Amino acid sequence: AQSVTQPDIHITVSEGASLELRCNYSYGATPYLFWYVQSPGQGLQLLLKYFSGDTLVQGIKGFEAEFKRSQSSFNLRKPSVHWSDAAEYFCAVVTSGSGNTPLVFGKGTRLSVIA
Amino acid sequence: DVKVTQSSRYLVKRTGEKVFLECVQDMDHENMFWYRQDPGLGLRLIYFSYDVKMKEKGDIPEGYSVSREKKERFSLILESASTNQTSMYLCASSFWQGPEAFFGQGTRLTVV
């Protein structure tokens, strides 16, 4: 069965510091990979996605993620965190070409930003 | 922009009540989904639908049912609400070939 692991439940970083959120997936086929962000009390907003091609993908709000097939990872990065980045982040995966199969989500990583 | 609208942001219901959560999307998406979100458990799929009047069980369908009479609308029904159904409920939609899902703003349901 497909699964997504986000090893860090909660991360605290200082404003201006760099950020890396980890995501590992368990999958037999070529995956489509996503990162979503959820601000408090809100729905999920797509940050970025990887389907194929260049393994380093750029997203909104200055985020990027790198797909590493050998490590089954899709880690999210940002060079300099802003206080407004405090939110919960979800990694999600689905088999490529699977049409209407729902996304499988990790349990999320909550990011706190301190001054 | 895709818009997925959930009818209520906050709901408070009594134990045993029948509860309807409504979701409407305006992008002619074929697929619609209901997820439940709880702290430490992430998003868990309750039901999804890939066409009008079609439905598929997700990971945690017990205590829930769904209805999709029109393509743009997907309803989640709690037949007899219980306190353990207190949660955040998220609706999402996508095209038939997926894979990207678009989410509503969520409904925080409290059952007392």
**What does the pLDDT look like over A7-30, one tens digit per residue?**
999 999 999 999 999 999 987 677
In chain B, which residues have their Cβ closer than 8 Å to the Cβ of A44? 43, 90, 92, 103
Across the interface, of B97, B99, B105, the residue whose CB is closest to A103 is B99
For B17, the 3-state DSSP assignment is coil
> How far apart are alpha carbons A64 and A69 in whole angstroms?
16
Among B42, B98, B106, beta carbon nearest to A42: B106
pLDDT at A97 (0 to 100):
63
pLDDT at site B109: 97
> Which residues touch A114 (CB under 8 Å, ≥6 apart)?
A12, A13, A14, A15
* Two tokens, residue A36: 């979503």
Residues of A in contact with B23 (CB under 8 A): none
Confidence of residue A31 (pLDDT cuts 50, 70, 90): confident
pLDDT at A53: 86
User: Region B49-59: what's the mean pLDDT?
Assistant: 93
Residue B97 reports pLDDT greater than 80: no
Residues in B closer than 8 angstroms to A101, CB to CB, are 98-99
Q: Whole-angstrom Cα distance, residue A90 to residue A109?
A: 7
Q: Among B107, B110, B89, which Cα is nearest to B34's?
A: B89
Rounded Cα distance between A73 and A85, Å, is 22
A52 in B contact zone (CB under 8 Å): no
